[in-house]
Amino acid sequence: MKFADFVNEEAIRPDLGASDKESAIREMVEALVAAGQLAEDACESIISAILKREELGSTGIGRGIAVPHTKHPSVERLVGTVAISQSGVEFNSLDGEPVALFILLISPPDRPGDHLRALENISRQLRDETFCRFLRQSKSVEDVKTLLEEADNNQFAS
Amino acid sequence: MGESTLSATVTVANRQGLHLRPADLFVKTAKQFDAQIEVVKDALRVDGKSILDITTLGAAQGTQLAIIAIGEDAQAALDALVELIEQRLPQDDHEPVE
């Protein structure tokens, strides 16, 4: 599953303002609401579901990367966005480092296969140092969009 | 005392497959041992102590994996990891671990 299959361009945030976990998650979920990808009345419920998942173990998996996610009945297909924090967000990461790169995923319940395939692709790209460096350096939605397209065309990780 | 290389085949038992949290639990378990751990799915062979490596496998329920352990505590590492994959992974992402 490629980035283009679940990342909504209008919800990409290359310069997150948030500096703490809850605000960062809120900013990304609200970006998806604004892009028409999530129902506005589901917003708070989605934010609290993502935070609840974080309590079981941070999705900040190290190297400045986090993949906050949840399942939620308000979505009919996998929905996601990409965000970058230029200053870094405290995220209780596994390595204790602040997070700069976020990929947020919301999947319909009972579609574990889609989530797994999105995660497989995301992991393959994020494992690539060059991809991560370029993503950190992205300053605009256009930069991020181009980079994700290049990743979808297998220009980074094999 | 010597280095041993041991391997075991496991089938992913939990319904959601090896998504982020099972991968995190796998890596945490693997890191309790000195042995080098590798996980193999078909032609992919990845580092068992890296979450991103494990999630790259996209291993759904029913997938067969080989776990390879290299080092003095290889047997203990293998036993712990096989038990984790086959019995101890939570079925649901929001379920706590025992």
Domain count, chain B: 1
What is the tens place of the pLDDT at every residue in A98-151? 999 999 999 999 888 999 999 999 999 999 999 999 999 999 999 999 999 999
Instruction: Look at strands B4-11 and A79-89 and give their pairing.
Output: unpaired
pTM, full prediction: 0.92
If you ran DSSP here, which 8-state letter would residue B74 be given?
Answer: H
Contact A65, A128 (CB under 8 A): no
User: For chain A, what is the mean pLDDT?
Assistant: 95
Residue B55 lies in a domain: yes
Q: With bands split at pLDDT 50, 70 and 90, how would you rate the model's confidence at B95?
A: low
Provide the residue range defining the domain that includes B31. 4-88
Q: What is the pLDDT of residues A39-98, one digit of tens each?
A: 999 999 999 999 999 999 999 999 999 999 999 999 999 999 999 999 999 999 999 999
Give the integer Cα–Cα distance in Å for B17 and B12. Answer: 6
CATH number for the domain including B64? 3.30.1340.10
Q: Does domain A3-152 have CATH number 3.40.930.10?
A: yes
Nearest CB to B94: which of A56, A65, A126?
A: A56
Predicted confidence band of residue B94 (pLDDT cuts 50, 70, 90)? low
Catalytic one among B4, B13, B16, B19?
B19
ipTM of the complex as predicted: 0.88
Question: How many Å apart are CA B16 and CA A116, to the nearest integer?
Answer: 8
Instruction: Estimate to the nearest angstrom the gap between the alpha carbon of B17 and the chain centroid.
Output: 12
What's the confidence (pLDDT) of residue A33?
Answer: 98
Task: Name the minimum distance, in Å, from the CA of B20 to any CA of chain A.
Answer: 8
Interface test with A, best of B14, B39, B56, B91 (most A CBs within 10 A): B56
Q: B1-10 as b/e, with b when 16 or more CB fall inside 10 Å?
A: eeeeeeebeb
Contact between chains at B20 and A56 (C-beta distance less than 8 A): no
Q: How far, in Å, are A53, A74, A80, A105, B37 from residue A122 at the CA level?
A: 19, 23, 11, 11, 22
- In Å, how far is A41's CA from the nearest CA of chain B? 22
The predicted-structure confidence for B45-76, as pLDDT tens digits, reads as follows 999 999 999 999 999 999 999 999 999 999 99
Q: Are B54 and B26 in contact (CB under 8 A)?
A: yes
Give chain B's contact residues with A (Cβ, < 8 Å).
15-21, 24, 50-53, 55-61, 93-94, 96
In a domain, B97, yes or no: no
In eight-state DSSP terms, residue A107 is E
